[in-house]
Amino acid sequence: MTNQSFRAGIAAFAMIAVLGAMPAVAGETYDRIKSIKKVVVGTEAAFPPFEFIEDGKIVGYGKDILTYIIADMDVELEQLDLPWQGILPGLLAGKFDFVATTVSMRPERVDKYAFTVPISEGTTWTMKRAGDDSIQSIDDISGKVVGTQLASAGVPASEEFEAMLKAKGLAGFAEMKLFTSYPESYLALANGEVDVVVQSLPNLAVVVKQQPGVFALVGAVGEKSYMGWVTRPEDTDLRDYLSSKILEMRDNGHLYELQDKWFGFRMDIPSEGYLPAGAI
């Protein structure tokens, strides 16, 4: 072999290697939606104030964002209300086109699903009964009964929190109770079944606001993180479209209006740096 052909061979090999390492061809979901003019989304309508049921209809912050996007897409919407345990598996199983429900950007999720730009902050916080003076800081949660949602981000977040307590030399939780939905955990907190609920800040803040005198926030138990919507990993074009719309809503102020309406406070929506390493 001559020197030239050898180098050509290496170049060709390198090119094939690079092409092979590139992400697979974008999925066809976005194109299909545009051609049949209909989109099916999965929502867990038990996550106030993002998506929940009022008078038999799905409403909330997330629903308002979806309405804006659907108007722009100009397609027919079918919104499926599913239990949380069926949302992410259902997405991968192709039961619907994307997840229009708030999903925390957990490290173990970001390489399996394509997240949009955040629609809210998702830092894990804790909530207690107002007037429960035995809990003044998050360290006092040691030895208490903690509640969160089955199969949600609250579970690994609680486990990490417990590990943190133990590392400080404190006892872990007395018990961790899992509920099929968060509203059940709020009820359990109110009637004393659990002492603390672990969930993302915006949800807890709204619950405290709606039930003044019943609940109170304790403190953050994790690092700042965010929540957004999710598409299948191959549908990065759909994900990019959704992200662009969310950023558009942020930049024209509409998103902040919705935040005022549903939360009573505003959260920063960063354009980048919101995903842990290794994300799609």
For residue 198, give both structure tokens: 């672990």
Shortest approach of other proteins to residue 55 CB, angstroms?
Answer: 8
Shortest approach of other proteins to residue 46 CB, angstroms?
Answer: 7
Measured from the CB atom, is 7 or 57 closer to other proteins? 57
Beta bridge pairs of residue 175: 145
Closest CA relative to residue 90, chosen from 27, 31, 42, 32 = 42
Three-state DSSP at 10 gives helix
What's the Rg (C-alpha) of the chain? 22
Measured from the CB atom, is 199 or 243 closer to other proteins? 199
Task: For the chain, list the strands marked E by DSSP.
Answer: 38-43, 46-47, 51-54, 57-59, 76-81, 98-104, 114-115, 120-121, 124-129, 145-149, 175-179, 196-200, 215-220, 226-231
Measured from the CB atom, is 103 or 117 closer to other proteins? 103
Measured from the CB atom, is 80 or 217 closer to other proteins? 80
Report the interface residues with other proteins, using CB under 8 A. 46, 48, 52-54, 56, 81-83, 85-86, 88-89, 92-93, 95, 150-152, 155, 177-181, 183-184, 186-188, 190-193, 211, 214
Shortest approach of other proteins to residue 19 CB, angstroms?
Answer: 30
Measured from the CB atom, is 70 or 214 closer to other proteins? 214
Shortest approach of other proteins to residue 113 CB, angstroms?
Answer: 11
Measured from the CB atom, is 55 or 133 closer to other proteins? 55
Shortest approach of other proteins to residue 31 CB, angstroms?
Answer: 22
Closest CA relative to residue 145, chosen from 199, 112, 189 = 189
Shortest approach of other proteins to residue 29 CB, angstroms?
Answer: 16
CB 192 within 8 A of CB 128: no
